[in-house]
Amino acid sequence: MPPPGGTARTGGPGLALFDLDGTLTRHDTLWPYVHGFLHRHPWRAPGAVRVLPELMRFVAGRGDHGTVKAAFIRSTLRGCTRAELAAWTARFVPRLIAHGLWRDALACLDAHRARGEHLVLMSASVDLYVPAIGNALAFGEALCTHVQWKGERLDGALAGPNLRGAAKVAALRALRERHPGLPITAYGNCASDLAHLSLADRGVLVNGSRRARAAAGRLGLDCQRWR
């Protein structure tokens, strides 16, 4: 098994794409972000029950991850001001960086950075905090799911595609067009990442489930266990 940050098959500096939740981080980030905000604004917490109808539709196979995500954000954070959420993001991100990342993920980032590669954070999580994480970790750019605002207050609906699955495939292809000839190494952690990992010059499944590892093996992808 190659070490974290091993050289892409085509060699040389290139692009290094990292998923966020479960790849760089030890856990999901949206729930802790919202939960932490609600802990400081407890009068908003009862609104979370409004996500249940959309969640039930998802469980029944009549919804998707994007609609559930939007419903969760709208039921908890809708109406918050940019200033309120920016202040919480400024507290949330340093704590996540200090306590929520895999050590091997940081080592991998350092290895790619040392080779002069362009680091791209590519996450289905939202732009309330993903760009701030990208800045804190010195990524060259951060691609993520965007949410809608009404002036200075959050609406919470998605302002574009949920950057997951096919949307990540499209994002990788767009990056290849913007950086022609550069080899791409991509890291992800779940089955929905396999499609874009398989299009990279080197795709790495990190801490995947048994089923995801089996599928990754059939696609010729590397599998690594990060701690």
pLDDT per residue, tens digit, the chain (227 aa), is 444 654 434 345 899 999 999 999 999 999 999 999 999 999 999 999 999 999 999 999 998 999 999 999 999 999 999 999 999 999 999 999 999 999 999 999 999 999 999 999 999 999 999 999 999 999 999 999 999 999 999 999 999 999 999 999 999 999 999 999 999 999 999 999 999 999 999 999 999 999 999 999 999 999 999 99
Does the predicted TM-score (pTM) go above 0.75?
A: yes
| Residue 141 to residue 159: CA distance in whole angstroms | 19
Closest CA to 135 of 83, 93, 185: 93
CA atoms within 13 Å, Cβ hemisphere of 15: 27
List the domain boundaries for the chain: 15-224
Q: Name the E strands within 127-226.
A: 141-145, 147-150, 153-158, 184-188, 202-206, 222-224
Q: Which CATH class is domain 15-224?
A: alpha beta
| Residue 158 to residue 171: CA distance in whole angstroms | 17
| Residue 160 to residue 176: CA distance in whole angstroms | 21
Instruction: Locate 196 and state its tokens.
Output: 């874009």
Check residue 5 and give its pLDDT.
54
The phi-psi region of residue 151 (left if phi > 0; otherwise alpha if psi is between -120 and 50; otherwise beta) is: left
| Residue 145 to residue 121: CA distance in whole angstroms | 12
Check residue 207 and give its pLDDT.
97
